[in-house]
Structure 1
Amino acid sequence: MFSFSLRRSLALVLCFSIMALASVGLAQEQQAEWMEIVRAAEQLAQQGQPEQALAELQKVFSQTEEFAPAYFVAGMVHASTGDMAKAYENMVQATVHDPSMGMAHRMASQGAGAMGNFDASWEHAIKAHQAGTDMADAFAALSSMAEAPAGLEAAMAAPRVWVGPFDTSNWEATEATAGGSASGRASDAASTARVLSEAAPDIARWGRAAKKAFANSPAFGLVARPEQAKYILQLEVDDMADNTRRRTRGYLKLVDVQSGEEDYRRRVTFSDIGSDGDLIRDFDRILSIMEEWAAEQLR
């Protein structure tokens, strides 16, 4: 089966995870502390101390079940001891909490293949490719062991997307919107800053939902960094409710990384970016339209 060195895998994932800390919504100081623990566990793994490495990672898992780098390192530690079932389980968890982590998809593909689960191995290999990871050796190995899934060519050609920050440049919060109304356009920079600051957890929630939606879409690939992408996804906000149900309106756009031009732009409404359930329903509706557009681009 295809392989990848423990040291290089850990180095790449930890590097990219540290780069991503500034763009995620959880408390950055807390994530920095977790990353230090993950780094310590990585050092223990490199020194041939797997049990101590797993014990170190437990310090993260006792505080959160959503930190992808910890699952990745745990998976690598289990792989180094030959426990492929636990290695695969942890790699899958890493991809659940960070679907743009191509290296975790790669290692999940390797683990699934080692256990004879070629459907899962193909699935993760494709996701790794879509996330920008070089999978030429993996596809060659898989092709010699199992039939390729239907739709492989289309999946390989799916445009890669990086989920960017909200574009609020054309939006000015007003005293009217601060009171829950959407009328009025009087400039109020202080009010804009206040609304955006208070909405930060919900904006981060929107970002996580967007990543999951695009990662699960057969028409797009999700990447961790903008330089890997064909498109940057942005929501150009022109209205955001300032109450417990944070309805948000604007234009969802795909900006070509090379040209800077908007290749896709559509008016959208998110009923409440503070609700996971509402975001799932809204993205399901929106992605069905975007997938039709993506299919047209390939014709």
Structure 2
Amino acid sequence: MTADLQDLHAFLAVVRAGGFRDGARAHGVSASGLSEAVRRLETRLGIRLLHRTTRSIAPTEAGARLAERLAPALGEVEAALDVVNIFRDRPAGTLRLNVPASVARLVLPSIATPFLKRYPDIRLEVIVEDRFVDVLAAGCDAGIRYDERLEQDMIAIPIGPRTQRAATAASPAYLAARGRPEHPRDLLAHACLRGQFASGAIPAWEFERDGQIVRIDPAGPLLVRLGAAVDLAVSAAVQGLGIIHLFEDWLRPHLDSGALVPVLQPWWQEFSGPFLYYPGRRHLPAPLRAFVDFIRSVPEDPSCDSSR
């Protein structure tokens, strides 16, 4: 009994995404096309693979077993097909990266375009997720994360700025009305614009000066999902709603224009930049190998150092 590889890929895409719509969005096809492919596969195998309701899609026991075996098997098929890339003049194929919003906003813009211009036969797919994910299970070739969130047993190489800072800022109008905090603990008496992870956790604001670390949990009128709605918080800060604490590079245009004013600058904490991480396979897919080589060949740009 045989099944079309595209139908198997379609089924796995639906399982990974938890639905036809998200699976279609991730793979650049139509939801109806994925649905038809799964129905075709179920007909060939003679067994239901997905439980379908109006609200959710979940694999049956048989579907879960099939997905578990398919992921590594299809990975091996792709790796086998990729071998022919060594006979091409230049690498080709699709590179799928899983990155947080901060990387998509602050790191990739200076990398993606020159990389794709150098390798015009490579197609780059960027999946933005701020939650911690298994990049292989998510159908990605590699991920970009900060060191405290790297997966174990992965190869990691630096990408982008090697030093970044968390900046605190407010509009001139806000500071004129509420006063300027002189110590991080003063923020407890101010309106602070906070962020929340997808898990529901609200990270504390952390500051450092002369080896002293201060963590605070201030209150405020606005709470946004980190990544997806950060620009809403930035806009609110510019409009004078409260104080914001975010990547310096994210706030830099507003700091340079004067729309936002630095607050507690001697306390801004530095941290190491992100890493590209990927499984330690003996034979990397050609698009990933090209990207790794490209990243390693890019000299560190001093202007990317946020400690200025």
Query: Shorter-chain TM-score: which interval?
Result: under 0.3
Larger radius of gyration: 2
Normalised by the length of structure 2, the TM-score is 0.24
Where relative contact order (Cα < 8 A, 6+ residues apart) is larger, the structure is 2
More strand by share: 2
Q: Greater helix percent: which structure?
A: 1
